[in-house]
Amino acid sequence: MKKFIHIDMDCFYAAVEMRDNPALANVPLAIGGNSRRGVLSTANYLAREYGVRSAMSNYRAKQLCPDLVIVPGRMQVYKQASSQIRAVFKRYTDLIEPLSLDEAYLDVTDSNACQGSATLMAEQIRADIFAATGLTASAGIAPIKFIAKIASDENKPNGQFVVLPEQVDDFLAQLPLGKIPGVGKVTLEKLNLKGLYTGADVRAKGVNWMQQHVGNFGVSLYQKCAGLHIGKVSTERTRKSLSVEHTYEYNKTSLQACLDQLPILLAELQRRLTKQQLEQRINKLSVKVKFANFVVTSADQTCHRLDETILVELLSKAYQRGLQQPVRLLGVGVGVKNEPQQHVQLSILD
């Protein structure tokens, strides 16, 4: 029987800021740019009570919470804290799959720590993280990987939730499909239209019906709801893309105004590609445009190097779809191919 722990730091960026500046500890706080068009990366729990959320514009957040304090992010400080957290993980297992700076899966099946109890390990890991960083974490513990992730959200902040092996079947039967990783808002709406709301609904339809009416994703969803998709911790993360984007304080009202921003975006993308040594692995160029009405479109083309001429063409194509709508955000990116020595066959469940 596998033992997975999912660790998720509590409002990580905001928590670091509150730790380092006690004056921020009891105010609604968010991390983001200072411009009116800036977008929040996270908010503390006090701000969330007002409806403030990550990916929300500063302007909207201030409408919901006029007293909201917005501070710029300090990525180097967050990375330092993240390194301390990873060091804690390594005391318990080498099987660690980081999802971001503040979130990771741990496979502790063969760990001898805490007499082999995953529940006790999660408690100790959270205590160790607090001792090392002064930050709190929440945890989910389960014999199935994705259930551990769902469980880590059950007792936030600074708590944990355990799904024992004998509880898995009932947990999955009652599970709202929207909580399953990979089931987004649009997918959930489509599933609901087919009468699918919980794991029990999916199981009742059967795998053949799910494949016929939902496709390959339906097979994967059935396997998860039936408790057949155990999952595994992947210790190597393969980057598939790299992009940069910018939200403008004032809308760009013409194609030329958008094109004028391309060299700036391209320079930042080039810098990041060079830093991560990905220039020789480019296999696609892409452009993203978000219009003033929040409609998003993108255009891409196969290419094996940064080519400004192609990006100009892609941006022009994407801009035309807006029918003269002003533009609030522009992004450029690349697709990245695997290293030649990497040959990984993924199953439908991966």
Active site residues: 103
Q: Are the beta carbons of 310 and 301 closer than 8 angstroms?
A: yes
Q: Which of 127, 133, 122 is nearest to 85 (CA)?
A: 133
> Which residues touch 248 (CB under 8 Å, ≥6 apart)?
37, 261, 327, 328, 329, 330
Partners of 327 in beta bridges = 252, 291
**Integer Cα distance of 82 and 87 in angstroms:** 9
Q: Are the beta carbons of 284 and 301 closer than 8 angstroms?
A: yes
Q: Are the beta carbons of 156 and 44 closer than 8 angstroms?
A: no
Beta strands in the chain (DSSP E): 4-9, 29-32, 40-43, 69-71, 96-100, 103-107, 137-142, 160-162, 241-252, 282-291, 296-302, 327-336
**Torsion angles phi and psi, residue 176, rounded to 5:** -65, 135
What is 161-179 written as a DSSP string? Answer: EE--GGGHHHHHHH-BGGG
